[in-house]
Amino acid sequence: MTLRAGREFLAIPGPTTIPDEVLRAMHRPATDIYSPAMNGMTLQLQADISRLFASSGRTYIYIGNGHGAWEAALTNVLSRGDKVLVLESGLFAAGWGKAAAGLGADVEVLPGDWQRAVRPAEVEARLRADTAGEIKAILVVQVDTASGVVNDIAAIGAAIKAAGHQALFMVDAVAALGCVEFQMDAWGVDVAMSAAQKGLMGPPGLGFVVANARARAVHDTANMRTPYWDWTAREGEQHYQKYAGTPPIHLLWALREALDMIFAEGLPAVFRRHELLAGAVSRAVEIWASGGGLRFSIPDPAQRSRTVTNVVLADGYSADALRAYCSDNCGVVLGVGLGALTGKAFRIAHMGHVNAPMVLGTLSVIEMALAALNIPHGPGGVQAAIRYLADAVPAT
């Protein structure tokens, strides 16, 4: 209707906006998957993914989404009956834990809630209590896309070290990789995973797992291994062995282009862009929240993700009505509330291929919807976002 002509704008936390360059990179005929050039492309992609994780470990590229990479990570290092500690901070770590339970692990959840990050001191205390060393792996997400929280992976890694515990530290970086810093080796992470369609700006369909030497050694005796996900099988020399079958060449070309774009911009610049755009979103929501009709899902600003912002409406107001207004009238698609926040919250994604006009435009459309739907909100949220960016990006 009225104002939605032209391209729809996706402000959902995955899949995210795919750059035209990445779309174009796929528009070509299939080629010989056995050629040295294609095998070389996979080797280079594996090296570049390891670089994104800041890891000297081995990278495995899967045809699969994040759920696939979850299963790949778990089956390669666990044995049936192993105790796994899940650090709850929203929907996603719990989801990964459910996958582990379904595969035959004995899952324990360290309870958290949807309003705050995992507390490293609680992790350390739980691990110290495990004097028999029963816990074999610890699962956590860096950014929980459902709650909008960012966990301090470095601090959790330090807590595990302080407890002197030997469990594998496994981290989900799906909604964070390529947007915020990740230092796999320096933070003591043993297994990390991600997927292509969020910060990495690609089409859905690729998942990544990186394993350090410790995890690779545990793999040798893991009995949850299955033929398709298995690391050993995928370490073969032949190109098709690296994918347990036909390599997903068009998705690889897309990934190649996306990584080239990220490295051309420079990782520090990419991180800074995400920080600034998240700051702009924060300023706007803060001002709107002063009107009483909405609030941040994560009260502590330091624990809010720089890739997605979760906004909860006051009782009596429908987030789905707000989302529908933005989508139907303006072509801006916001993320839905998940879990207990279904219908009560909406999410603004600001990850991957995002820039100032995309984010300021999205904020303007939300402010327009708040006004049209008579949801009480402080005026001038967008103005505050503009002021913040103008101060942060001075004229030279």
Ligand X SMILES: *Cc1c(COP(=O)(O)O)cnc(C)c1O
d(CA 287, CA 306): 18
Q: How far is the CB of 90 from ligand X (least distance, A)?
A: 8
Phi, psi of 60 (to 5 degrees): -120, 130
Residue 14 makes contact with ligand X by CB under 6 A: yes
Q: Which among 172, 231, 174, 224 is positioned nearest to 199, based on CA atoms?
A: 174
Tell me which residues in 107-166 interact with ligand X (CB under 6 A).
Answer: 141, 143-145
Residue 345 makes contact with ligand X by CB under 6 A: no
d(CA 216, CA 81): 19
Q: Which among 184, 188, 227 is positioned nearest to 209, based on CA atoms?
A: 184
Binder among 85, 117, 149, 174 for ligand X (CB under 6 A): 174
Q: Which residue is nearest to ligand X (CB)?
A: 66
Helix, strand, coil % over all residues of the chain, rounded to 5? 45, 15, 40
Q: How far is the CB of 242 from ligand X (least distance, A)?
A: 20
Question: Do residues 48 and 194 lie in contact, with contact meaning Cβ atoms separated by under 8 Å?
Answer: no
Q: How far is the CB of 82 from ligand X (least distance, A)?
A: 21
Q: How far is the CB of 174 from ligand X (least distance, A)?
A: 4
**What mask of x and - would describe binding to ligand X in positions 72 to 101, judged by CB under 6 A?**
--------------------x---------
Q: How far is the CB of 171 from ligand X (least distance, A)?
A: 10
Q: Under rule CB under 6 A, how many of the chain's residues touch ligand X? A: 14
In degrees, rounded to 5, the angle at the alpha carbon of residue 231 between the alpha carbons of residues 187 and 243 is 115
Only one of the segments 147-155, 170-178, 180-188, 378-386 lies at the binding site for ligand X (rule: CB under 6 A); that segment is 170-178
In degrees, rounded to 5, the angle at the alpha carbon of residue 68 between the alpha carbons of residues 66 and 73 is 95
174 versus 280: smaller Cβ distance to ligand X: 174
274 versus 283: smaller Cβ distance to ligand X: 274
69 versus 370: smaller Cβ distance to ligand X: 69
Residue 178 makes contact with ligand X by CB under 6 A: no
**What mask of x and - would describe binding to ligand X in positions 50 to 69, judged by CB under 6 A?**
---------------xxx--
Question: Do residues 209 and 180 lie in contact, with contact meaning Cβ atoms separated by under 8 Å?
Answer: no
Residue 175 makes contact with ligand X by CB under 6 A: yes
Three-state secondary-structure class, residue 210: strand
Q: How far is the CB of 146 from ligand X (least distance, A)?
A: 8
d(CA 96, CA 209): 14
Q: How far is the CB of 13 from ligand X (least distance, A)?
A: 6
Q: How far is the CB of 133 from ligand X (least distance, A)?
A: 28
d(CA 322, CA 78): 44
Residue 203 makes contact with ligand X by CB under 6 A: no
Contacts of 386 (CB under 8 A, 6+ apart): 280, 360
Task: For residue 133, give Cα distances in angstroms to 127, 155, 300, 375.
Answer: 8, 21, 34, 52
Question: Do residues 175 and 198 lie in contact, with contact meaning Cβ atoms separated by under 8 Å?
Answer: yes
Binder among 22, 117, 153, 195 for ligand X (CB under 6 A): 195
140 versus 386: smaller Cβ distance to ligand X: 140
348 versus 386: smaller Cβ distance to ligand X: 348
Q: How far is the CB of 193 from ligand X (least distance, A)?
A: 8
143 versus 322: smaller Cβ distance to ligand X: 143
d(CA 207, CA 355): 25
By the criterion CB under 6 A, which residues form the site for ligand X? 13-14, 65-67, 92, 141, 143-145, 172, 174-175, 195
